[in-house]
Structure 1
Amino acid sequence: MTDDRSPEAEAPGWSWEYEGYEPADERLRESLCTLGNGYFATRGALPECAADDVHYPGTYVAGIYNRLTSKVAGRRVENEDMVNVPNWLPLRFRLPDGHWIAPDTTPVLDHRQLLHMSAGLLERRTRYDLGDDRVLTVRQLRLVHMADPHLAALRTEFTADGFSGPLEVEAALDGSVTNAGVPRYRDLDGRHLTHIHTGTAAPDTVWLRCRTRTSDTRIGIAARLTARTGAEAEAPLTIRHERPYAIQRVTVHMVPGHTVTVDKTVALHTSRDPAISDPLHAAVDRVGRAPGFDALAETHRAAWGQLWRRAELDVPGESGRILRLHLFHVLQTLSPHTADLDVGVPARGLHGEAYRGHVFWDELFVLPYLNLHFPEVSRALLRYRHRRLEQARTSAGAVGRRGAMYPWQSGSDGREETQQLHLNPRSGRWLPDHSRLQHHVGSAIAYNVWQYCEASGDTEFLHTKGAEMLLYIARFWADKAVYDESLGRHRIKGVVGPDEYHESYPDADAPGLDDNAYTNVTAAWVLTRTIELIGILPEPRRRELLERTGLDGSELERWEDVSRTLHVPLHDDVISQFAGYGDLAELDWSGYRERYGDIRRLDRILEAEGDTVNRYKASKQADVLMLGYLFAPAELEGLFRRLGVRLDEDVWRRTVDYYMHRTSHGSTLSGLVHGWVLARCRRSEAWKFCQEALQGDIADVQGGTTGEGIHLGAMAGTLDLVQRGLTGLETRGGALWLDPVPLPELSSYGFSLRYQGNWGVRLRLERGLLEIAVPSHDVSPIDVRLPGREVSLQPGETGRLVLPD
């Protein structure tokens, strides 16, 4: 086979491998072996296995949602889900009159899955024991094409040992799928597809069309099947339609030691695609024109090679291999193809159905990485938010506020998609969900706009769509802030912070907390940056913006006042997570760890005991410490100074220590943020949390959640930890600012980035030496600033800077 590449031939650190068949591990492996191209992705399930308690072969198209109403706990609950579209994978096989061969029904002698990250290929090898010294070896190569985002292909090779004769092979397109990949959602209606029809397009090609039940998105899939034995002619196919399946069957003759190859090529389109008239016609046409597997693999591999060059990352050892896996999955979810789509950042990638495929604040951890490699993708993701600005303004108006109130969970149209109830699987009870009060998502969007424009130099976006988003988000915060005469400060009340455990005060009748420090400080940042931006806009554009939004001098004066007087509570000489946090009870951490072991989801444990985490000084993840993740120490100190609060190194260290001992790390983001923050103030402990962030999905530290979809924010965040966290890299004021804090465990590494039109800027940290190489082309020099030093590097120049101890 011309595209065969053995694991031994692959460069070290570029593959991900699983040995043996372990049913309990299948869901995790399926998530981590997902293949995608930014347009759609398919989980790494075995093609001969249908969805059951072990396997879940889901396929998801970016931005395809559907809304259904279910009856839960005596209430009618509406949810919008990212749709599991028809399954293109099915390919099963058997001996005549035998049962279908699968690892759950047939003895397995060997089983191996190998993810070739450099080429974007999933390889699978299984040896089945058929009895009487007969062995069938199945080898498969799978791709979801990175050059043509509408194509996927599966090559299956069958080799007989100890027997000869016919082998029946059946391939199908399966329209019977539902959304059933998350056990705790199974009380909800998951039947999103309707009007399922199948047909034949050519002697070797079948098709399936359907549509979503309420969003009315039409989906068309076409599959071409070919089979050959060595140099012989292709084996004849038979086609059968048993709605909702389109079935192709071929019988091949097996000879000991000879390999039979069956190729399945698939095209997928939806009615959301541009430049087509009908998704079914487009799919049939595309699969008819698609070349064979070898040619597809060649162009696919070339496309991946281009991505790897743009996102070059050279980190040694096992950490480097994990980071490469993380980058692989980020690029499969958010590739250059994403730049053409109206989609956001799905928190669990296109890898599963957890969080129903919704868009949260995870772009806060994703865009800073993309900004410096794929700015066109960042821009598209921010345009997703801008298109929903009108809905955010409507949502603010519905609660009596001016400005824009972005939803905590977003889907197709930008309305609030946060569920009204959530299930505690430990107690089996459905509970009210108040996480929609996490209004700090608006500040995250504003932060991403600013970071993107600083890194890319895209002043056109900043002065138009970016300025509009910042203005309306700032307006919301200024309107929500209320003045407290007794404090002489403005306060933001009734919110939930990033911690998520605390949704209300103990025994309170209404949800929400007052003066969440993270919310207030980031709101002050939004107001300050927006005032600054309005001041530097070109006069014609400023006039247009003020006329369109009704912004006047008196409102700007209020913004200035609020940005300087938002209340930041303190207790015990540390920053309070929210007003009253210091009055909560201390938790018996050692006692709970002794009783339960893993207490990451402490909220569920306490609720099952009839208690509530709202009573305790206990956080799910970084909350106050998120400020140290977003802002460099000097900028954070300046923000607090503007608010009239002293934040020196001692106060920050005490604050870090305080919350370190009161956090359960119930989110994969928590280890990432703590590693980032500790690298600046307690370096000896930072690597432990960096490792936890690296292990989050591969070790499934959340206990089964990765099988429902990867944690995209945490994966991208680990890449950014290397790119910005440990280098202290900032893009501001038209310069690259660097303040490296190399960890003993990771002191030598390198990466490339794209900065304001400069492609392929290379940075390398090597034992106290920082090397920066600017490529040779006609672009202006790059200004580099380190503590106490400034350097201007011309195109083609390499700077080598010795770092202080």
Structure 2
Amino acid sequence: MEKLLEPTSDPTWVLVAEGYDPLREGIYEARFATSNGFLGVRGGRAVSRGSRWIEPHRTYIAGLFDIPGSEHPIPVLVSAPGWLESRIISTGGPLVHHPAEVASHRTTLDMRRGALFTGCRLIDHPNIAVHVRTMGLVSLNERALGLHVINLEVEYGQVEVTLEASFEGLGLGLLSERLEQDLGVWRTRNSNKRLAMAAALCLQIDGSELAPTMSGPFVWSWHWKTRTGQNVCLSRLVAVARGDSQDEAPDRVAWEKLEGARQLGWRKLVQEHEAAWSERWQRSDFEVQGDSAAELALRFAAYHLNSAVNPADEHVSIGARGLTGDDYHGHVFWDTEIYLLPFYTLTWPEAARGLLMYRFRTIDGARAKAAGMGWRGAMYAWESADTGTEATPERVVCPDGRIVEVLCGRQEQHVTADVAYAVWQYWQATRDEEFLLRAGAEILLETARFWSSRAQPEPDGYCHIRGVIGPDEYHEHIDDNAFTNVMARWNIRRAIDVVGLLRERWPERWASLSSRLALGDTELVQWQTVAETMATGLNPQTGLFEQFAGFFDLEEIDLTAYEGRSVPMDVVLGRERTQKTKVIKQADVVALLGLLPEEFAGDHADANFRYYEPRCGHGSSLSGAMHGLAAARLGYSDLALRYFQQAAAIDLADTHTTIAGGLHMASLGGTWLTAVLGFAGLSLQSDEIAINPKLPAKWRSLGFAIEWRGRRLKFRIDADHDLLQATLESGDSITLLVNGRQHEVRCDQATVCPL
């Protein structure tokens, strides 16, 4: 057995599932998914799933959206044909009829190597017994390529066998344009996108290649007689290309990528893939001493975050479930900018830039949405697919069969400020001038223009934003949501800052941009007035932000009386009653604490957290991590750790069947936020990096890496010795602020800072 086909032996880098559990197969398919930001493959069984399996192997292609029809005019992520179907047939028929029949099945996700491994024993007693091992991956080095290797070791038996390999779902959801033995081209029904897949298979018996018997498009079979000790290896390469317009030729691209992979050989392809993963782990790995479960959770999060993005494609972003499932139709939410972008900005700036360029490329859709609702500037879609047009369904069917109107597409508008927030954070962390001048400044200006038209002055002297939904989606049609208004004010002020920056450093660019946007001094003065008079709900005496106008007058509900419930609070109380209570779906004012801590003076941050935290029912997977971040910053480390564990458990515990529809990318990003911006206390302050560590009691140390303005740094917080070690691996020396004290960090030596 080749070492390449064995997973890493270090248990801190692998996830393992044993046997067969029909209730959890969908969970494992999502958890063990492999992806590279372009091509995503669910972690389903290949050889051992049986001949009566109904669902095909799910393969997703980033950006492959289609509108199914006029009765469902919402773009959805379309599944590509599955390319992993395999069957072994002996004299008695298929060796596997049902996965429950398979002895000792083991699935291993090797996060260090970015590959999925399986092992099992197939028996047709007394005729034959075969030990089967497989390895599957999608290349992080060449994103068009997927690889699957099956290794068979014959334990005993001299019988005639047939190995069949094929594609599944060739006619599901896509229209076939061309279907040959090893090349297929399909198109979507309504969005005019094209998909090409090319495949090459090679079977070797004891090192000698056996020619296949071809029986149809994307179907291969091999027939031979086994013997004890025989070793059989099937390698399957697939190349995938997406075409977004009719003048593109995805078939040519797929074929060229496949030919390159064949010349390279699958072993070299694995080596290059692993080298790409090694480089990613150098920049995003964690080490946690004293809490092996937390270390594994952080690596699991970083694995799937690194897997979810393709820096080379500015036309796509990351959906709520990544490429691990099709819940929410593959749509992009505010999750990407608020929960995911910090990870990419500080560990993979090229990826962060690509995601922000997706927002720039869809800004015309945001402008059209704003204009359609009577406002100016750019108002980003609550749910976005490939064009930026609003993709939120107008109504959905609840589990109890009721049809409910969905208002988020019109009322949940804070996503516009969230996009601007991510743009500014990226600029602060990278000083990417080319991005700012090409895209970032325009996003900031057009979103500020939207808010300045959206917030209306009233006789009380304040500008109000009425009729919205904040992050707490239990309350609709509300006025002056604190999160929305404060983020909008912040958005306007950063746009004014960027105007000053452009005028000072790039006056020609400012002249060109302001002329194209018809943005003059009169409008900028109006922006300043809106920012200065924005209603925020802040009570200066108590320091509390009222979550929205009238929130403090709602019914109090003691959530401790409902501990142990298995359903969200709006199901327990009913939607109508929930809207009349102070029960919060997810972090709202607490999210403001997480994103803009500077908005809370003195002990106001603590006062707001202590008020809102007990009233949150955590009806969203986004909630726990944001509470963990806020709690960690405030020094509530044990509480923060509990929230961290809850966020990690959403995708790692086997009790959450919702992950069958895909992993919760926001909660994965949120665990990174809690660890780095929370427990490590990392923040960016002007031209300095500040760290104020507050580790949980059981964490003896925390190690992590970041990138900042062209520098690569590694940190290790040692709680046992109250020390921080900072290592500058590349780039110019910097000033590090550790608990308020300045330390110079240079490239020639590690800097040790007392805590």
Q: TM-score over 0.5 for the alignment?
A: yes
CA displacement at 1:303 relative to structure 2:
1.8
2:118 equivalent to 1:124: yes
Q: Counterparts of 2:250 and 2:638 in 1: how far apart (Å)?
A: 56
- Deviating beyond 6 angstroms after TM superposition, the runs of 4 or more aligned structure 1 residues are 50-54
Q: Counterparts of 1:593 and 1:482 in 2: how far apart (Å)?
A: 42
| Other-structure match for 2:629 | 676
Q: Give yes or no for contact 2:128–2:158 (8 Å, CA) kept in 1.
A: no
2:580 equivalent to 1:586: no
| Other-structure match for 1:246 | 218
| Other-structure match for 2:43 | 44
Q: Give yes or no for contact 1:173–1:208 (8 Å, CA) kept in 2.
A: no
Q: Give yes or no for contact 1:87–1:177 (8 Å, CA) kept in 2.
A: no
2:303 equivalent to 1:328: yes
CA displacement at 1:158 relative to structure 2:
2.1
| Other-structure match for 1:319 | 294
Q: Counterparts of 1:612 and 1:658 in 2: how far apart (Å)?
A: 21
Q: Give yes or no for contact 2:637–2:679 (8 Å, CA) kept in 1.
A: no
Q: Give yes or no for contact 1:159–1:254 (8 Å, CA) kept in 2.
A: no
CA deviations over 1:375-431 (Å, ceiling 9, x no partner): 111111111111111221111111110111100000110000001112211x12221
CA displacement at 1:195 relative to structure 2:
2.3
Q: Counterparts of 1:570 and 1:52 in 2: how far apart (Å)?
A: 61
| Other-structure match for 1:73 | none
* RMSD over aligned Cα atoms: 2.4
Corresponding residue to 2:515 among 530, 543, 547: 547
CA displacement at 1:476 relative to structure 2:
0.8
Q: Give yes or no for contact 1:137–1:160 (8 Å, CA) kept in 2.
A: yes
Work out the percentage of aligned pairs sharing the same amino acid: 31
| Other-structure match for 1:189 | none
| Other-structure match for 2:259 | 288
CA displacement at 1:555 relative to structure 2:
1.9
CA displacement at 1:373 relative to structure 2:
1.7
Change (3 A) 1:531 1:705: same
2:80 equivalent to 1:85: yes
Corresponding residue to 1:339 among 308, 312, 315: 312
Corresponding residue to 2:194 among 215, 218, 231: 218
2:490 equivalent to 1:494: no
Match of 1:550, as an amino acid?
A: A
Q: Counterparts of 2:188 and 2:27 in 1: how far apart (Å)?
A: 28
Q: Give yes or no for contact 1:50–1:57 (8 Å, CA) kept in 2.
A: no
CA displacement at 1:343 relative to structure 2:
1.0
Q: Counterparts of 1:344 and 1:463 in 2: how far apart (Å)?
A: 21
| Other-structure match for 1:783 | 735
Corresponding residue to 2:227 among 255, 260, 281: 255
Q: Counterparts of 2:607 and 2:744 in 1: how far apart (Å)?
A: 38
Corresponding residue to 2:174 among 168, 172, 193: 193
Unaligned runs of 5+ in 2: none
Aligned-partner SS, 1:359? coil
Q: Counterparts of 2:396 and 2:405 in 1: how far apart (Å)?
A: 6
Change (3 A) 1:52 1:400: farther
State the TM-score, normalized to the length of structure 2.
0.93
| Other-structure match for 1:270 | 242
| Other-structure match for 1:685 | 639
2:81 equivalent to 1:113: no
Q: Counterparts of 2:121 and 2:732 in 1: how far apart (Å)?
A: 58
Alignment of 1:289-688 (within 5 A): 289=260, 290=262, 291-316=264-289, 317-334=292-309, 337-363=310-336, 364-425=338-399, 427-436=400-409, 437-486=411-460, 488-503=461-476, 512-537=477-502, 538=505, 539-569=507-537, 573=542, 574-587=544-557, 589-590=559-560, 592-593=562-563, 597-599=565-567, 601-607=568-574, 611-632=576-597, 635-637=598-600, 647-649=601-603, 651-681=604-634, 682-688=636-642
Q: Counterparts of 1:273 and 1:288 in 2: how far apart (Å)?
A: 24
Q: Give yes or no for contact 1:119–1:304 (8 Å, CA) kept in 2.
A: yes
CA displacement at 1:626 relative to structure 2:
0.2
Q: Counterparts of 1:559 and 1:230 in 2: how far apart (Å)?
A: 74
Q: Give yes or no for contact 2:587–2:616 (8 Å, CA) kept in 1.
A: yes
Change (3 A) 1:52 1:452: farther
| Other-structure match for 1:741 | 694
CA displacement at 1:355 relative to structure 2:
0.8
Aligned-partner SS, 1:764? strand
CA displacement at 1:318 relative to structure 2:
1.9
| Other-structure match for 1:14 | 13
Q: Counterparts of 1:373 and 1:593 in 2: how far apart (Å)?
A: 38
Q: Counterparts of 2:154 and 2:738 in 1: how far apart (Å)?
A: 64
**Which of 250-259 and 404-413 deviates more?**
250-259
Q: Counterparts of 1:740 and 1:23 in 2: how far apart (Å)?
A: 44
CA displacement at 1:340 relative to structure 2:
3.5
Q: Counterparts of 1:678 and 1:272 in 2: how far apart (Å)?
A: 45
Q: Counterparts of 1:52 and 1:586 in 2: how far apart (Å)?
A: 53
Q: Give yes or no for contact 2:131–2:152 (8 Å, CA) kept in 1.
A: yes
| Other-structure match for 2:211 | 236
**Which of 287-296 and 362-371 deviates more?**
287-296
Q: Counterparts of 1:707 and 1:142 in 2: how far apart (Å)?
A: 20
Change (3 A) 1:766 1:546: same
Match of 1:339, as an amino acid?
A: A
Q: Give yes or no for contact 1:21–1:111 (8 Å, CA) kept in 2.
A: yes
Q: Counterparts of 2:342 and 2:612 in 1: how far apart (Å)?
A: 25
Q: Counterparts of 2:403 and 2:187 in 1: how far apart (Å)?
A: 31
Q: Give yes or no for contact 1:107–1:130 (8 Å, CA) kept in 2.
A: no
| Other-structure match for 1:765 | 717
Corresponding residue to 1:101 among 70, 86, 96: 96
State the TM-score, normalized to the length of structure 1.
0.87
Match of 2:155, as an amino acid?
A: D
CA displacement at 1:208 relative to structure 2:
1.9
Q: Give yes or no for contact 1:166–1:252 (8 Å, CA) kept in 2.
A: yes
Change (3 A) 1:50 1:12: closer
Change (3 A) 1:729 1:593: closer
Alignment of 1:18-33 (within 5 A): 18-33=17-32
CA deviations over 1:740-790 (Å, ceiling 9, x no partner): 2222133511112221111x3111111121121223x5x432122244322
Unaligned runs of 5+ in 1: 71-75, 179-191, 201-205, 504-511, 638-646
Q: Give yes or no for contact 1:764–1:772 (8 Å, CA) kept in 2.
A: yes
Q: Counterparts of 2:56 and 2:666 in 1: how far apart (Å)?
A: 23
CA displacement at 1:590 relative to structure 2:
5.0
Aligned-partner SS, 1:750? strand
CA displacement at 1:467 relative to structure 2:
1.1
Q: Counterparts of 1:52 and 1:631 in 2: how far apart (Å)?
A: 54
CA displacement at 1:602 relative to structure 2:
2.5
Change (3 A) 1:155 1:525: same
Change (3 A) 1:686 1:98: same
